Amino acid sequence: MTEETGTAKTGGAALLGTNATVASLDRVRVDASDQPLTTNQGVRISDNQNTLKAGLRGPSLLEDFVLREKITHFDHERIPERVVHARGSAAHGYFEAYDALTKHTRAAPFAEKGKITPVFTRFSTVAGERGSKDTARDARGFAVKFYTDEGNWDLVGNNIPVFFIQDAMKFPDLVHAVKPEPHHGMPQAASAHDTFWDFVSLMPESTHMLMWVMSDRGIPRSYRMMQGFGVHTFRLVNDQGESVFCKFHWKPLQGTHSLVWDEAVKISGADPDFHRRDLWEAIESGEFPEWELGLQIFTEEQADGFSFDVLDSTKLIPEELVPVTPVGRMVLNRNPDNFFAETEQVAFCAAHIIPGIDFSNDPLLAGRIHSYVDTQITRLGGPNFHEIPINSPIAPVQNNQRDGLHRQALPRGKVAYEPNSLAGGCPFQTGATQAGTAQPRTNGFVSFPEATAEDKVRGKPAKFAEHYTQATLFFNSQSDVEKAHIAAAFRFELSKVGVPAIRERMLSSLVNVSQELAAEVAAGLGMEIPDTMPKATANPQTPKVTVSPALSLLALPGECGIRTRQIAVLVDNGVHIDSLLSLHDALVEAGAVVHFVGPRVGMFVGDSGAGIEANKSMENSPGFLFDALVLPDGSQAVKALAGNEHTAAFIQDLFKHCKTILALGAGRELLGMAGIGQVSEKDEGVLLADSTDAAKVAPAFIDAVAAHRHLSRLTGPPTK
């Protein structure tokens, strides 16, 4: 985005579609530079410091309309937070189609190669309240609002492709269980407590989702480094009224990376805004996050042949059965101007679809179609939330809906009904042609005419009764380190459960997933492995895929090298400056963000007499906030750092979390001081070099940082 025009650039071409959302917000932007203070009615305020009183020491007067307006507005500043996904961060951007997808869908974003559609994307935790921490173990929301020229389309998903429950009927129960327990309001933003595990241990359908949340997917390194999924099966419908099924996948250009548990816990104390800050600062620095949108497209006939039901949101489709076809990319290139007005007031609704996109009969999706709209009416004060600028479509809005709280539009004329003759029949319905015939793009939305000829019934299809096969698929598809992390997460969570029967019930369910996993968790809880929980399906269909490498985080290392990685360089008086400056230049050129970190912030004098400024201190920015570390040369500096109370912990955290460390010259002594003695030959994440070779070792250091972590260093689960 250029500040002058608000126009995003790619390949030298202006993204005119993005201008539409910028223009829609221009009328409500407020720039107070060189402007006087006024009331909400535009009356200039002469004194904003003192209440109107009867005499300097007299009573305040009720007629002080400036005070009353100011206090009244303040009293009503807060709106109800979201019941779930309350803690979120968002950004503006655009979606660019790789090619026309008209064979499968008439949806506007895929109408032609290179078409640009403005978007607003919000990421969030699920369980925590608005003021909770970013790094809690949780699923993450991944919601994208497409401002298309045929209306707004909201693709409201998560960073996990499956969900806890199969039917929306259980959604209130799930949320009540995972939220803080009502008698004391604890724990905040955490699932490690009795009510959550009581519920899921009685709901075997939750097992697959539990595997994902207890994996490293539940503690992502960054919003920019996590996948997104539409979760449900949707329909694509083309101009001829032909339909196929699809699932939506977002894959990050930065790769899929996570935190380890010890790191996540420490970060939550030092910087509870860790993910929010990361997204904001990346965009502000011009490092625009990017995701590729891929579709799994399949027919109803293919779906009938799967061993699972595609209408079951606790199941995914392995990529070995249906490959993911890349169809476009999303770039987030502008931060919100105002967090409340945009990020907090944005209203995503699963019911918001456009011609070319339609629903499947997924019973969880059916409930979401109602729930999201209903929620926004309460949260945003009435049915006119679509008129809030961040929610306004760029497509014209013309209908006979009138009035209601917070109405912004000013409809003209005396006609507010259809059909009519007094307004020339306008606004008029566009009409539709029958399925299978040519349908011009200007026609309106037409639901896919799916045939139904069954009795009303409360129940589930037979395939919905199988709950463990895909949980086993997920576990078997993980690396050994990821499996260890899953076991550690289950141990930690269940150790917080105070009712032994709940632990035993959950373990009996895990036996159906993996004997190895159940044994690891049981050992950590001092329990025997219980009898297997009975399965609802005695003879499930044999799955065609038993291992899927794409389900491991390691499958997507990313294409960005060390861009945006945060690298700490320790400094103190007497540091060897030349080596650090040459290394700094190489790292910055590679796209890293380098921080000189001292025992305090401010200037330090190097060995040459030149100064070097620390912009962070070991006290305000502990080691676990960084992706890599450089230990400097210079005997005086090394001696001073060795005597500082924070240095050992700073180094130990980076080493413990398997991050890259480069020690220059005398800086090796700091490794020994931190208790890091002989480093394994398999550990490519600890580099040693003379300060004179700093420039030469830079490429090897960059390659090591790009690996994210050096997992050979792990000697135990992250909870130890």
Q: Which two tokens stand for residue 251?
A: 């894959």
Q: What pLDDT score does 14 carry?
A: 36
Q: How confident is the model at residue 569 (pLDDT cuts 50, 70, 90)?
A: very high
Q: What pLDDT score does 446 carry?
A: 85
Q: How confident is the model at residue 27 (pLDDT cuts 50, 70, 90)?
A: low
Per-residue pLDDT tens for 211-225? 999 999 999 999 999
pLDDT at 8 over 50: no
Q: How confident is the model at residue 2 (pLDDT cuts 50, 70, 90)?
A: very low
Among residues 372, 549, 378, the alpha carbon closest in space to that of 478 is found at 549
Residue 428 CB: number of other CB atoms within 10 A?
A: 12
- Residue 146 β-bridge partners: 119, 153
pTM of the model: 0.92
Per-residue pLDDT tens for 317-346? 999 999 999 999 999 999 999 999 999 999
Burial of 285-318, coded b for 16+ CB within 10 Å and e otherwise, reads eebbbbbbbbbbbbeeeebeebbbbbbbbbbbbb
Per-residue pLDDT tens for 491-500? 999 999 999 9
Q: What pLDDT score does 602 carry?
A: 97
Per-residue pLDDT tens for 243-289? 999 999 999 999 999 999 999 999 999 999 999 999 999 999 999 99
Residue 83 CB: number of other CB atoms within 10 A?
A: 13
Highest-pLDDT range among 213-222, 375-384, 392-401: 213-222
Q: How confident is the model at residue 719 (pLDDT cuts 50, 70, 90)?
A: very low
Q: Enumerate residues 6+ apart whose C-beta is below 8 A from 29.
A: 337
Q: How confident is the model at residue 19 (pLDDT cuts 50, 70, 90)?
A: low
Q: Which member of 19, 92, 104, 158 is catalytic?
A: 158
Per-residue pLDDT tens for 535-562? 987 778 899 999 999 999 999 999 999 9
Average pLDDT, the chain: 91
Q: What pLDDT score does 20 carry?
A: 52
CB-based burial of residue 470 (10 Å sphere; 0-12 exposed, 13-18 middle, 19+ buried)?
buried
Q: Which member of 85, 92, 257, 485 is catalytic?
A: 85
To the query of whether residue 158 is one of the catalytic residues in this protein, the response is yes
pLDDT at 432 over 80: no
Q: How far apart are CA 562 and CA 69, in angstroms?
A: 51
Place of tokens 């009867």: 54
Q: What pLDDT score does 457 carry?
A: 86
Q: How far apart are CA 560 and CA 215, in angstroms?
A: 24
Question: Domains of the chain by range and CATH?
Answer: 88-380 (2.40.180.10), 464-555 (1.20.1370.20), 566-713 (3.40.50.880)
Give the max Cα distance, the chain: 91
Q: How confident is the model at residue 15 (pLDDT cuts 50, 70, 90)?
A: very low
Q: What pLDDT score does 456 carry?
A: 81
